[in-house]
Structure 1
Amino acid sequence: MLLLEWPGKSPECAGMPEHPAVYHMLDVAAVAERLIAPFQLAPDLRDAFVLLIALHDLGKISDSFRAMVRGAQAQGPRHWELTEVLLHKHDDLLAPRMGGDPDTRCTLYAAVAGHHGKPPSLNLGTLPKPPRIRDYMNAVRHVGMGADAAAEVIEAFCALWPEASLEGLALPEAVRFSWWLPGLCAAADWVGSNTRWFKAQAPGPDLSDYLAQARQTAAVAVAQAGLSGAAVQSGPVFDFTLRPMQAACTDLPLPKGPMLAVIEDETGAGKTEAALILAHRMVQAGKGRGLYFALPTMATADAMFRRAALILGRMFAQPTLTLAHGRAGLSADFRDVIADGERHEDEPGCTAWLAESRRRALLADVGVGTIDQALMSVLPVRHQSLRHFGLSSKILIVDEVHEMGEPYIATELERLLQMHHAAGGSAILLTATLPMALRERLLATYGGGPVSPAYPALTVARGDAITAFPSDPRPVKGPVLVERLDAVERAVGHIAEAAGQGAACVWVRNSVDEAVAAVEALRAEGIFAHLLHARFALCDRKRIEAEVLARVGKAGTGRAGFTLVGTQVLESSLDLDFDVMVTDLAPIAALIQRAGRLWRHMDERPHARRPVAAPVLQVLSPDPDHVADDRWLRVTLGRGAWVYDLADVWRTARVVFAAGRIEAPKGLRALIEAVHGPEAEPVPEVLGRAEVEALGKAAAHRTQAVHNLVDLAAGYRDGGGASSDTSYPTRLGGPSRTLVLARSTPNGLEPWAEREGLSLAEAWALSEVSARAARLDKLPLPDQAAPEIRAVTQDWPEWKRADLKVCLVTEDGTICEGLRYDRSLGLLFDGDIS
């Protein structure tokens, strides 16, 4: 059979056969049949998609690809672009068999051709005649003798899926599927190209017999890759007495079709468990076959991963579980679940195939990761469609949504929900402090929802809102009183006194520099304060987090007198419980989150066991009633005054000091809306310019987000892209630089992180620390061409040598003039500490 003479892959080694292109195409189609089966598609449309995926590498039936496989220099368009050319050229063969109008077919041709993570770039136009005929004919010239053979392949493959049909598929639906189909094709291609399962075979079986063989192999491959899906378990997810929101999620009527639910409740009310209960019911109702937890930071994702690993076995039978963020490989918890061996039915696991790539993580039954991994499914970056396909079968659970209210990321989140809804996906949003205006915008992505100021609330788009909840029988801390401290010295004195009385104390500062200064001031008063912020090497941050959790976590011991100073990393990443809290003035959402770490676990430590009489939030702040100029906040908070929009901070001060308390849950809505709602108080005239600048910045960020996002209406070919992940950021902020800390040994430079139990690569990764580029770029950092540094980096890829700077930390902590590192204080710039 002459079709088998066109190679699909080079021989793995000398003496091995070339795997025919048509065999490879059928391998991938057989995998696609497995992956597409659970989606609720009409049989004829499902077969049409499989047939198109079978033709995804039609461009390998070309003179140029065959020459390249056999050692010649690549010339002309890439094979996947030639796929689209050949599908255009032979549309007269596909049209009578598949039906559909020309634009619909063209849209889907481009989708399967773009399975390498980016859409085709040749300007072919639409059928029946490409407008740029010269480019088209040049591409056909590179196909050469393959043009007639490609026609034979199309005829033969159509006979293998005779029921395939696009009839009735309108162009808007084809455009919607054009974002999803490349991801399905890419996933099938990755599995179908893996020689662990699909070994090279010399020409032999005819196409029908080979497809039967490939289908048997595909069943094994999909299962071993971890893509065959997990059965949903029956029975309750939890066996403890449910709290009010959790009980509401048990009884909530589920609407037909895709749904969006918003869970609003105070910090510590059990929203995560409520979401798991609701998600389990949604999976049982066929609204998804898995979950993706999207968290605001890697630290929160790591914490959620540990929790998820313990409970998923009650939701699914042997689910695959992945951790999806840039440092997932450094998580000991994640490494523990990566295995190809047998597991108990209540144990989640992760296959080696899934763990190989962060992009594959969203294909697992359950993924836990940062919101960034999900947001990349709506940015024009390479393999955007793969992420979209992976998410499309999941219940998307977005936690800490209030932390995504910044205009840029909020606009991305809206687009993510729109795209997820269009693919038939459902979602749950969790929040403690979401402004009503943002809630309405997010609900609008699923058709809108009831508008109610009630709090707590369980709101369903196009459905009802549950706003009446019984009282929680568990011990409550009651209102958190709010008092103002007008100077750093008073804050230091308050903590020193409380720590001396045996209270577990925390001071949350807005900036790292001010946090370091606070630690120095407390230590000068004889209080050994611990410090936690984002400017530690990862190994030290993990060590400090573990120490802090052991002392003031839910089951912590040795709390008496323990004192911690931290930054925003304390707001959501760790489940901590303090007796006394001081905080820098911050926007109301941040203050509420911080106060949620004050007297948090009342069932573990009721009033009688606390060393202080009541929970009081001491807020370091100038008087909001006396604002002389726009330096109002700077005098009291120093560098911490630059972190948040001044107008929001001033309004927060006015509202919270006037109220004198934060009363959860019933008083939270009023506080949030008084700062962010339409009736918010005008700022003093001297702060007007700052507010105008902030509004302009917010509008610019929204515009930038809209410009950066994929254009859903344009379809994958014209609306997608293939930029690197760094070209289109998931969130805005000043650029940062990453340093890799090293120490000197007789054997040369070694990682700052201890090597015990770690590979060398892991130890170097755990030695990384980041800081703002604007500060680092002013310093004389070590010369990366120095012999001792070149010895470390010589085997690193070029991008890594360009992005990371290896820095020797001397015995006294010096890195260079103006910069040093301390294990207990982190990365220090001149002036951070005296």
Structure 2
Amino acid sequence: MNHVIDLRAPWGKLGNSDVPHPLICHAIDTMAVAEVLFDQLVSARLRSKLTSAFSPIGEARTWVAFFCGLHDLGKLSPAFQALRADVAVRLMGEPAAGAIRRLPDYKRVGRIDTPHGVLTAVRVEPMLRAWGASLRTAQDLANAIGGHHGFFLRSETLRHARGGVRDHGGDLWKDWCVEFAEHVLQLRNLPKPSEAAWAQLRIETDLLVVLSGLTSVSDWIASAESNFPYAGADVDLAAYVERAAEQAREAVRRLEWIPWEPPEETRYKSLFGEDPRQMQFDVEQITDELDAPLMLIVEAPTGEGKTKAALQAAARLARSRPGSGPGGGLYFATPTRATSNQAYREISELINRYQPELAVKLLHSSAEDFLIAERMRNREDEALQPSAVDQDGDPAVAAEAREWFTRKRGLLAPVAVGTVDQVLMAGIRSRHVFVRMTGLSGKVVVIDEVHAYDPYMSTMLDRVLQWLGFLGVSVILLSATLPARRRNDLVRSWRTGLLGHNMTPALDATVAYPRITYATAETSQTVPTAVSGLNADRRMTVIRVPDEDMVSWLLEQVRRGGCAAVVHNMVRRVEKTQAALEEAISRLPAEERPELYVITGQLSAKARSEVEDRLRRAFGPPSREEEPDSPCKVRRGEVDRPARAIVVGTQVLESSLDLDFDLLVSDLAPIDSLIQRMGRVHRHGDAHPRPAHLADLTLAITGVEETDKGPKLPPYTGSIYPKAFTWRTWALLRDRKAIHSPGDVAELIEKVYGPQPVTCPSGWTALDEAALTLEKSHTNQRFDARVLYLPWPRRDMPLRDMTGRAESSRQTRREGRPS
């Protein structure tokens, strides 16, 4: 006997109320949200692939939304309905009520039934097979939506679940699930199953990943009662479809997920109101000639404007192309919170000129503190509160869903700036990793200072680049300079993912620095570029100043005027220098006392923001006038440069702030770090008046004691930088009188990091042991990353491999290393 039920009777959400939100209404809600998000979260390239994949059965947008809506089909079971047996029995009647009553009291004995996400996959697979889909397609689609609580399902999990006939309800409830799905098809005017060519449907892994991500995000938004009030069991479903569509549009609007729409004219001068430098012009030409997906690697000295070049390229890549659809997104990743804050200001300024309604998100652990301290917090509606997301499972799922809609986890926002950790998390086998991938899939991803990552992070980054290539994501990498081997690794990783097989790039390692590397599906090439007058023919005099003489020498240098920076490798050295300077300055005549600034990464967010603001006002770039014919409005700032000043800090001075000094004192560090620090001397060219005695660029290296057995450095320096790199750097610089940039840069980098490093004095016997220790450490770091990272992306890869043996997504850096 065929028992028909009212499909409005099974409840989907109840909360503490007796008024249900029917399961079919939640399916309609989720479908409506997915249709809105289809253009906003899924890239134009993947939308095109989805359109092609679903063409045998109809229009991709609606079919994708349909599968998103089926994610909770497993709730149509006696076990789930029994969680509120009082409501379910009243609404569903017999024979459903009998099956519900026969189940044990789960409140008393605990849950022993199949989680509804798993049961969704168990129900969907045979249903699609009956409709004509192949076994692989049915399994893939079932797993993609059944894993919406964060984990794709293992074969043994599904096999065990299929045996739970009692709490599933048997054939009767199975038939009701099919009736439920077919009624949703009818409500949304989709073809009957018998009218679609299911046997021709093929969905590859990249599309399944974004389908899974879209399912979870749509479910979270649809689960907020503020967006979709509970409809009650007597709802008119035909009318509800229209109502849900309007509610979905309003729900997404409140999230302010407005697609980034760069202006139609994306040339550099149009965006920034100034003529591009040669490197910026070359980047503009490359992106103008090549279509996405594209990888760019820009290697140029500090101060050349790599950030602006990347933003211009990203704007060009995000612009509409024929048939690609509107808009796009951007994630700008930096190595530290301080550099994220700096980039946030610059990107917000650009976006606000052309699209002020689009809020740029800042993503790192202290972003809220920074924004409050800066008094730049954007107006936001009350945070989205998904409810009953996993009512029959892990309560942490609802909390995690809410986190995705805060600033700390706002990777879904169209334009965001934050630390590289947010990108690296997308490479770790972890809960909801597919949501991270979906968030990145519709963006241009820019990664700054890519030379700054240790082997652990670099190994993780290589795997993420494979996946970004696999998803067709354009990537822009910025660096002061890279060893040739590292440049090849980055290009190989991305192109391997894009093409689906290992591709060793044939890059020309002899191309002079500065340079631009680009890669597409068809080609990869490195080409030379040129530096501006600011960085052309920079000759940095190198001198040595003993620790015990540094304070007196430094005060003598600025006595006649000038601004100096002191960069130490450790906070304890900053504190020691600060104390010595304060004592010495107190003994000077008032008219000769320099202003003293101190900044480290250990300052509170509020104190850090205040110091950074003082530093920008004193040593930042000068204001520039608006150009009358420029379409963009340039926000003018003021620089109040002191007559004499000393800034003492850690590596935050190395790259976090756009500051200009007349003189640099630095602890010994690996050559790439020293090159970064050197970029802070005369960074703004002739924009600031220079004291005559500091007209020449000077690097004073301190904290090094020369011995026959090698350089003696301050205690604990080895915990900051590997001895092999600092000693090789000293071998290059100990007898050197000057460093010429850009001419010497590439050679210096290769002699420290390349396969044939500099030859060191024979007495430095500890260097051989240090090199072996370094290699062992690098091997261990790479192994540790490989234990965590995602498998190699393949078009036919089982989804379960993405979340199998899941790890914490927070393991983006080696334990004990600074964030």
Normalised to the residue count of structure 2, the TM-score between the two structures is 0.80
Match of 1:488 in 2: 547
Equivalent residues in 2 for 1:14-413 (5 A)? 17-37=19-39, 39-40=47-48, 41-42=50-51, 44=54, 46=60, 47-69=62-84, 73=107, 75=111, 76-88=113-125, 91=126, 93-97=127-131, 99=133, 101-120=134-153, 123-124=156-157, 130=159, 132=160, 135-138=161-164, 141-143=167-169, 146-159=173-186, 160=188, 161-162=190-191, 168=200, 170=202, 174-204=204-234, 207-227=237-257, 229-235=259-265, 236-252=270-286, 253-286=288-321, 289-314=328-353, 316=355, 318-330=357-369, 331-332=371-372, 336-339=377-380, 356-358=405-407, 361-404=410-453, 406-413=454-461
1:173-198 CA distance string (max 9 Å, x none): 63333332221111111221222221
Equivalent residues in 2 for 1:755-794 (5 A)? none
**2:789 aligned with 1:709:** yes
**Matched position secondary structure for 1:578:** coil
Distance 1:164 1:416, change over 3 A: farther
The 2-side partners of 1:200 and 1:28 are apart by 14
> Residue 276 of structure 1: CA displacement?
1.0
Distance 1:724 1:680, change over 3 A: closer
Distance 1:272 1:610, change over 3 A: farther
The 2-side partners of 1:529 and 1:317 are apart by 38
The 2-side partners of 1:28 and 1:552 are apart by 52
The 2-side partners of 1:484 and 1:422 are apart by 49
Distance 1:458 1:449, change over 3 A: farther
> Residue 498 of structure 1: CA displacement?
1.2
**2:654 aligned with 1:650:** no
| Mapped contact 2:342–2:657 kept (Cα < 8 A) | yes
For structure 1, list consecutive stretches of 5 or more residues without a partner in the other structure. 342-352, 737-769, 771-834
| Mapped contact 2:279–2:531 kept (Cα < 8 A) | no
| Mapped contact 2:540–2:738 kept (Cα < 8 A) | yes
| Mapped contact 2:124–2:138 kept (Cα < 8 A) | no
Distance 1:471 1:548, change over 3 A: closer
The 1-side partners of 2:525 and 2:541 are apart by 30
> Residue 265 of structure 1: CA displacement?
0.6
| Mapped contact 2:538–2:742 kept (Cα < 8 A) | no
Distance 1:477 1:105, change over 3 A: same
**Matched position secondary structure for 1:57:** helix
| Mapped contact 1:225–1:354 kept (Cα < 8 A) | no
2:164 is matched by which residue type in structure 1? Answer: N
1:72-100 CA distance string (max 9 Å, x none): 63622322222122224xx1x3125362x
**Matched position secondary structure for 2:644:** coil
| Mapped contact 1:529–1:563 kept (Cα < 8 A) | yes
> Residue 367 of structure 1: CA displacement?
0.7
2:459 is matched by which residue type in structure 1? Answer: T
| Mapped contact 1:292–1:394 kept (Cα < 8 A) | yes
1:477-505 CA distance string (max 9 Å, x none): 821121223x2113223212112222211
> Residue 642 of structure 1: CA displacement?
3.4
Match of 2:103 in 1: none
The 1-side partners of 2:484 and 2:331 are apart by 25
Match of 2:765 in 1: 685
State which of 476, 489, 507 in structure 1 corresponds to 2:566.
Answer: 507
Equivalent residues in 2 for 1:690-769 (5 A)? 690-711=770-791, 712-713=793-794, 714-720=797-803, 725=808, 728-734=810-816
What RMSD in Å do the two structures reach over aligned CA positions? 3.0
| Mapped contact 1:375–1:730 kept (Cα < 8 A) | yes
State which of 483, 488, 507 in structure 2 corresponds to 1:450.
Answer: 507
The 2-side partners of 1:554 and 1:69 are apart by 64
> Residue 21 of structure 1: CA displacement?
0.6
| Mapped contact 1:483–1:660 kept (Cα < 8 A) | yes
Alignment coverage as a number of residue pairs:
703
**Matched position secondary structure for 1:459:** strand
1:591 is matched by which residue type in structure 2? Answer: L
> Residue 623 of structure 1: CA displacement?
6.5
State which of 744, 749, 773 in structure 2 corresponds to 1:672.
Answer: 749
| Mapped contact 2:724–2:767 kept (Cα < 8 A) | yes
Match of 2:489 in 1: 441
> Residue 445 of structure 1: CA displacement?
2.2
The 1-side partners of 2:692 and 2:231 are apart by 72
> Residue 424 of structure 1: CA displacement?
1.8
1:380-402 CA distance string (max 9 Å, x none): 23322211101100000111111
The 2-side partners of 1:208 and 1:593 are apart by 63
The 2-side partners of 1:324 and 1:238 are apart by 25
| Mapped contact 1:514–1:640 kept (Cα < 8 A) | no
1:692-727 CA distance string (max 9 Å, x none): 01100101100110110122455432331596746x
**2:604 aligned with 1:537:** yes
**Matched position secondary structure for 1:497:** helix
| Mapped contact 1:25–1:57 kept (Cα < 8 A) | yes
| Mapped contact 1:48–1:165 kept (Cα < 8 A) | no
Match of 1:518 in 2: 577
The 2-side partners of 1:19 and 1:477 are apart by 71
> Residue 554 of structure 1: CA displacement?
2.6
1:451 is matched by which residue type in structure 2? Answer: D
State which of 479, 491, 495 in structure 2 corresponds to 1:431.
Answer: 479
| Mapped contact 2:122–2:142 kept (Cα < 8 A) | no
State which of 581, 592, 607 in structure 1 corresponds to 2:675.
Answer: 592
The 1-side partners of 2:242 and 2:780 are apart by 56
The 2-side partners of 1:238 and 1:449 are apart by 35
Match of 1:800 in 2: none
| Mapped contact 1:11–1:200 kept (Cα < 8 A) | no
Relative contact order (C-alpha < 8 Å, sep 6+): which is higher?
A: 2
The 2-side partners of 1:564 and 1:266 are apart by 22
State which of 637, 660, 671 in structure 2 corresponds to 1:577.
Answer: 660
| Mapped contact 1:515–1:565 kept (Cα < 8 A) | yes
**2:8 aligned with 1:4:** yes
Match of 2:539 in 1: 479
**Matched position secondary structure for 1:299:** helix
**Matched position secondary structure for 2:261:** coil
**Matched position secondary structure for 1:530:** strand
1:771-809 CA distance string (max 9 Å, x none): xxxxxxxxxxxxxxxxxxxxxxxxxxxxxxxxxxxxxxx
> Residue 588 of structure 1: CA displacement?
0.6
The 1-side partners of 2:556 and 2:366 are apart by 40
| Mapped contact 2:363–2:407 kept (Cα < 8 A) | yes
The 2-side partners of 1:198 and 1:67 are apart by 23
Match of 1:793 in 2: none
| Mapped contact 2:278–2:529 kept (Cα < 8 A) | yes
> Residue 300 of structure 1: CA displacement?
1.1
* Identical aligned residues as a percent: 30
The 1-side partners of 2:724 and 2:198 are apart by 55
> Residue 679 of structure 1: CA displacement?
2.2
Q: Which moved more, 1:71-80 or 1:643-652?
A: 71-80
